[in-house]
Structure 1
Amino acid sequence: MQRRILIVVFPGFQLLDMAGPADVFATAGLLSPGDGYVVEVGAVRAGPVPAHNGVTVGAAALGEVTGTIDTLLVAGGLSMPEQVRDRELVETVARLAGTARRVASVCNGAFLLAEAGLLDHRRVTTHWLAADELGKSYACVEVDADPLYIEDGNVWTSAGVLAGVDLALAMVARDHGHALARDVARGLVVYLHRPGGQSQFSTPMRAMTPRSEPLRESQGYIDANPAADLSVPALAARAGMSARHFSRVFTEQTGLSPGRYVERSRADTARRLLEVTGHPLDTVARECGLGTPETLYRVFHRHWRISPGDHRRRFQSKES
């Protein structure tokens, strides 16, 4: 049986919030036509709806939608402050959510769900830039700004923009198994189903970009060569600085000390290796520059609050 996906848009919506999940579901339908998806787009008023980037999409009138909805998905957009004041839109979303098996949002689309009362007493996420405002505006909503997406009951919320692709792939995996989600990801040439608990922020995203070109080169070298000698003396020599000066300006310009940045980068590498390879822990420790399984365990647990083995098992169980 094909599942009906209804994506809610509005003037000024973020095109990728709609197009990313739509392509995931449509590709799943192509690969598994007997039990795939049918994607529809709806807005308060039928007709062309302009996205924030000027591209226009055709939408049906939400008030005229009838029948069973499998997944109601709300896009986000820069015009969201205006949309949450549109009572017709908010009330229509609330009504349709009551008929849907599953409700979801991408990016700050969570504000529409919250305004409709659909996120009360739930743990949710949104784009990190909007997380504080969401929590302050809706006291009954538990906002976690870190994960890519969160599933709480039948409500799914995701972080900004392309995290909607991760959300949709997770839904495909839940509905039809990881094999189909993997094939969809391969067909779209995207990262293979990042787990929802993965942070919105990689180590480079957590740190500030250095103003100095030698320091930017050092930052890139660290991330690309986790198993290299990344001691302060070695990095300082590459940058043509004294160790003391390098450590001081690196910390000033990135917000992290060189040692802290290196450890976080290696932890990120270890996490990726655990998720996408079957390497034993001693190989993972060596390839990410942490040396031994014991050091890998200590660093991984410090950053992710879970052991490397448990992370791999959780990731694989999400994938299966």
Structure 2
Amino acid sequence: MRELVVAVYDGVVLLDVAGPVQILHGSRGYRIRHASIDGRPVRTDIGLPLGVDLALGEIEGPVDTLLVPGYAPPDGDRPGEAFLDLLRDLGSRARRVASVCTGALLLAEAGLLDGRRATTHWAACADLASRFPSVTVEPDAIFVRDGPVVTSAGVTAGIDLALALVEEDHGPDLARAVAKYMVVFLQRPGGQSQFSVRGAVPAPRHPALRGLLDMIAAEPAAEHTLAAMAAQITVSERHLSRLFRREVGLTPGQYVEQIRVEAAQALLETSAEPVASIARRCGLGSDETMRRTFLKVLGITPTAYRRRFHSTDHSPTRPKETL
């Protein structure tokens, strides 16, 4: 039985706690304790009270795993400095530190992500990148492992993270059995690009960059090379790359690619248009280029994506698909 501490606080997202804990409890391989700053119950983001076992300051000696769930992005209730101080101390004594959703920002504030790669909820990736330049943010990852620190994307990605911990600690057979029982993917296809990249990016402070993002979204098939985009807003290519990194959390090429994939996803979901035609309309070139891009960004082919997400007739005469 491995010792696992879940650090909770007022405003913690309930599913960030419940999802991973349900997986870890189901594996029967962990002694799980919930700890708050004062040992008292906390109020979750939906107002439901959550009981705890002890205060963070009462935990003595080493801990196998420290799990830090998040607060509701972008501006939900978050803990103060006293919590971060305890997190910093406990994290230094833990064999492994993990976070769910915006818990990554709490790790960053506690200095536990300095010089590491990390991810968080898509709506908070740009914030993480701009506030903590020493952290290399991977905005499309479901979870990122860097040494003893593992960070995951938003909400249900905590389930993916927990299954990865079970696999690491107790082997793939147990992780597969737990995933099957919970009716979830052992390794889900695709990354955070399956969610709206335009909605994930906060409004940039730079007015010219705001206009550029709107133009890319409106015309994904237009010429959006680094040189063309820099010329469009009359800045150098190097400065444009810095602006994207600071305010968007992606490189210009990554942003354009994800916008084009998102446009193609919308057409695959709602139309019967051939894949090759969709590829051209969305700036992805040929059907083969679109296939390679989908595999890289989403982890599945355009045809498989359409089969899974295309609007269907749910009349009683139509046989239902099974998972």
One fold, TM greater than 0.5? yes
TM-superposed CA distance for 1:219, in Å, is 7.3
Structure 1 residue ranges without an equivalent (≥5): 30-35, 209-217, 234-256, 265-289, 309-320
Task: Please state if 1:83 is matched with 2:78.
Answer: yes
2:17–2:69: 8 Å Cα contact kept in structure 1? yes
Alignment CA distance shift 1:219-1:127 (3 Å): closer
Task: Indicate yes or no: 2:45 matched with 1:52.
Answer: yes
Q: Matches of residues 206-225 of structure 1 in structure 2 within 5 Å?
A: 222-223=268-269
Provide the C-alpha distance between the structure 1 equivalents of 2:104 and 2:55, rounded to a whole number of angstroms: 21
* Offset at residue 220 of structure 1 (A): 8.0
2:193 alignment partner, SS class: coil
After superposition, residues 55-204 of structure 1 pair within 5 angstroms as 55-59=48-52, 60-78=54-72, 83=78, 86-194=80-188, 198-202=190-194
Map 1:196-275 to 2 at 5 A. Answer: 198-202=190-194, 205=196, 222-223=268-269, 230-231=273-274, 258-259=278-279
In structure 2, the CA distance between the partners of 1:81 and 1:118, relative to structure 1 (3 Å rule), is farther
- Give secondary structure in 2 for the equivalent of 1:83: coil
Q: How many residues align?
A: 231
Q: Give identity over the alignment, percent.
A: 40
Pair 146,261 (structure 1): closer, same or farther in 2 beyond 3 Å: farther
SS across alignment from 2:45: coil
Question: 4+ residue stretches of structure 1 with deviation over 2 A?
Answer: 78-84, 192-195, 204-208, 218-225, 229-233, 257-264, 298-306
Cα 1:160–1:61 change in 2 (3 A) is same
- Displacement of 1:232: 8.6
Deviations 1:146-172 (A, max 9, x none): 110000011000000000000010111
The alpha carbon displacement at 1:117 in A equals 0.6
Residue type of the partner of 1:110? A
Amino acid at match of 1:83: R
- Deviation at residue 122 of structure 1 after TM alignment: 0.6
Residue 258 of structure 1 deviates from its aligned partner by: 3.7
Structure 2 CA distance, aligned partners of 1:305 and 1:21?
27
Q: How many Å separate the matches in 1 of 2:198 and 2:131? A: 28
1:38 is matched with: 31
Alignment of 1:288-303 (within 5 A): 295=288, 298-303=289-294
Quickly say closer, same or farther: Cα 1:179–1:11, change in 2 above 3 A. same
Shift, 1:68, TM fit: 3.1
Question: CA-to-partner distance for each residue in 1:25-46, whole Å, 9 max, x for gaps?
Answer: 00000xxxxxx11111111011
Aligned mates of 2:36, 2:106 — CA distance in 1: 13
SS in 2 for 1:146: coil
Contact 2:11 2:77 in 1 (8 A): no
Distance change >3 Å, CA 68–CA 160, structure 1 → 2: same
Contact 1:149 1:158 in 2 (8 A): yes
User: 2:35 aligned with 1:28, yes or no?
Assistant: no
Equivalent position amino acid for 1:126 in 2? T
- My pick for the range that moved more, 100-109 or 67-76, is 67-76
Check whether the contact 2:24–2:162 (CA below 8 A) recurs between aligned residues.
yes
Show the counterpart of 1:279.
none
Letter in 2 for 1:18: V
Structure 1 residue 144 displacement after superposition = 1.5
- Counterpart CA distance in 1 for 2:39 and 2:128 is 29
Whole-Å Cα distance in 1 between the matches of residues 25 and 282 of structure 2?
Answer: 40
Please tell me whether the aligned partners of residues 11 and 78 of structure 2 are also in contact (alpha carbons under 8 angstroms).
no
- Matched residue type, 1:222: L
Give the C-alpha shift of residue 205 in structure 1.
4.5
Q: Matched residues in 1 for 2:294 and 2:102: separation?
A: 27
By how many angstroms is 1:182 displaced?
A: 0.8
3-state SS of 2:185 partner: coil
Q: 1:230·1:262 contact (CA, 8 Å) conserved in 2?
A: no
TM-score in terms of structure 2 length: 0.64
Shift of 1:231: 2.6
The answer to whether the Cα contact below 8 Å between 2:3 and 2:63 also exists between their aligned partners in 1 is yes
Q: What's the CA shift for 1:4?
A: 1.1
SS of the aligned residue for 2:41 comes to strand
CA contact (8 A) 1:263 1:299 kept: no
- 1:13 is aligned to 2:7: no
- Over aligned residue pairs, what C-alpha RMSD do you find? 3.2
Deviation at 1:262, TM superposition (A): 9.0
TM-score by length of 1: 0.64
Give the AA of the match of 2:11: G
Q: Which runs of 5+ in 2 are unaligned?
A: 200-263, 300-323
Instruction: Tell me which amino acid in the other structure corresponds to 1:25.
Output: L
Deviations 1:251-277 (A, max 9, x none): xxxxxx84468999xxxxxxxxxxxxx
Query: Is the Cα contact below 8 Å between 1:182 and 1:193 reproduced in 2?
Result: no
